[in-house]
Amino acid sequence: MVKIYFVSPSGKVTSLYADAGKSVLDVAHANGIDIEGACEGAMACSTCHVVVDSQWYERLPEPSEEEQDMLDLTNGLTRTSRLGCQLRLDQSLDGLVVHLPLETHNMLD
């Protein structure tokens, strides 16, 4: 199991355990964390935008070109933004901290 912390825009921290191989979006959906994920991982919406804690960001695999392109269209983009549907948990990410952005923008609308 991999531990992950979600931090809401108001600062509320929720810690969860998830199976390796799940995406951050999967974990959020399974536990009532408020991440929309409108395209369910097809990299077409950017509503799964999360801001990775800066200490963790460097440890993540590089975003693909498709993810980067979608992030470039995301409102409120930060230096450590990623798409939650593209972040797969593994043991090296045990303790990962992700922040939920204040707003997301659905590119499907």
Chain residues in the site for ligand FES (CB under 6 A): 25, 37-41, 43-48, 70, 83, 85
Q: Provide the terminal-to-terminal Cα distance of the chain, rounded to the nearest Å.
A: 36
Closest to 75 measured CA to CA, from 32, 105, 96: 105
Nearer to ligand FES (CB atom), residue 7 or residue 43 = 43
Nearer to ligand FES (CB atom), residue 37 or residue 101 = 37
Nearer to ligand FES (CB atom), residue 71 or residue 97 = 71
Cα distance between residue 71 and residue 83, in whole Å: 7
CB of 83 to ligand FES, least distance (A): 5
